[in-house]
Amino acid sequence: MGTHERWTHLLEILGDRGRIEVGEASELLKVSAATVRRDMDELAKQQLLVRTRGGAVLSGVAYDLPLRYKTARQADEKQRIAKAAAAMIPPGAVVGLNGGTTTSEVARELATRADLAQHGSGTALTIVTNAINIANELAVRPYVKTVVTGGVARPNSYELTGPLATMVLQGVSLDYAILGVNAVDPKWGAATHDEGEAGANRAIAERADKVIIVADATKIGRRAFAQVCAIHEIAVLITDKDAPEETVEQLVAHGVEVHCV
């Protein structure tokens, strides 16, 4: 288990329990107590937890793992989902992408598609995004026209949110919106934990002819605080093979085209 993967696991456990002792974390992570102490000390420096005499507790801020610590979760599934999503986009399309680990993978898949790279002079694809990390990766691709919204950057997701983001999005027209979310429920639709992110993501969805949701199985059948789009607004859901079968059937019954990859 690599360092970042170990940190992610430790923060996930802490998020569930609120506090953890060094010995307990050592057993769960299958590493030495000395390694756990070093990990806790480093995460405390980054303000992601608070060290106690024998372990750690959650920091006083709202608990939401920064994007860089989420990348180890369901990594293989996210790559398969991203590949399937990127394959749906024809050359010349205008695509809206929000922030998140899965959509970041989608951006990489699009950026490295051979048919786009060999497009020749001109624009092979236009990406409109409110995620500054995605814009950073795509800006070096001469065949991708990258449009970035304004807004206030959220440090946990690298997404730009607020009135400046929605104002730009209201002035564009998209062929596709590829959105990563925290939850997909047959009744409540697609949602995320933060209302600011949901507002910007909703604006992307509203400007697109076709909405594609990319979400691994851990997000399916769950609810989150702020709705991004209603179930009838979702054209396609791309998830992995571990998605609950009953929930998938309910989504299909609502008219969603579901791909389990």
What are the tens digits of pLDDT across the range 34-79?
Answer: 999 999 999 888 878 889 999 998 765 444 555 655 655 678 899 9
Can you give the pLDDT at residue 157?
A: 84
Over residues 119-159, the pLDDT tens digits come to: 767 899 999 999 999 999 999 899 999 999 999 999 878 99
Residue 209 has pLDDT above 80, yes or no: yes
Can you give the pLDDT at residue 63?
A: 47
Sign of CA dihedral 58, 133, 189, 225: positive
Q: Alpha-carbon distance 55 to 37, whole Å?
A: 8
Q: Alpha-carbon distance 235 to 152, whole Å?
A: 29
User: In degrees to the nearest 10, what's the CA dihedral of 138, 141, 144, 145?
Assistant: 70
Helices (H) and strands (E) in the chain, counts: 10, 15
Residue 226 corresponds to which amino acid? A
Question: Looking at residue 154, what DSSP letter applies?
Answer: P
User: In degrees to the nearest 10, what's the CA dihedral of 179, 180, 181, 186?
Assistant: 60
Q: Alpha-carbon distance 49 to 206, whole Å?
A: 38
